[in-house]
Structure 1
Amino acid sequence: MSSKIHSNEDNCEGTSALKEELNIKIKEQKVVVDELSNLKKNRKVYVQQRNSNIFFLADRGQTLGSCKKELDNMKKHLQDM
């Protein structure tokens, strides 16, 4: 019986840690969205390729849209937890 209690407590602690990590990522993503939103229209935006140190020129509007979508997905995931 005590092993079930420990398992449940460990699960709660794990969920709490995941929520905290997700909250940190949400805050970071909010900063990215704010920075992209406040850029002048003529500024260039570069996007880093996954698992690479290579950056490519990207459209500011598309990048902002995808960052907002990612932020919304993170918020939804946090609410589902």
Structure 2
Amino acid sequence: MASKLRRNEANCEEASALKEELNKKIKEQKVVVDELSNLKKNRKVYTQQRNSSIFFLADRGQTLGSCKKELDAMKRDLQDL
């Protein structure tokens, strides 16, 4: 009985840690979306290649759209927890 209680407490702590981390990532993503939304139309946007330090010129509209989709997915994941 006591071991079940300990497992439940551990699961609750793990879930709250995941929620905190996800909340942090959501806040960061909101900043990215706001920054991209407020750029002038003639400004250049660069995206970083995964697992690399190389940046490539990207379309501002496409980048904003993908960032918004990622933010929505993060919000759904948070609601599922």
- TM-score between the two structures when normalised by the length of structure 2: 0.99
Flag structure 1 segments of 5+ consecutive residues without an equivalent. Answer: none
Structure 1 position 59 matched with structure 2 position 59: yes
Q: Corresponding residue for 2:6?
A: 6
- Number of residue pairs matched by the alignment: 81
Amino acid at match of 2:6: H
Flag structure 2 segments of 5+ consecutive residues without an equivalent. Answer: none
Q: Which runs of 4+ in 1 moved over 3 A?
A: none
Q: Corresponding residue for 1:40?
A: 40
- TM-score between the two structures when normalised by the length of structure 1: 0.99
Determine the C-alpha separation between the residues in 2 that align with 1:6 and 1:50: 39
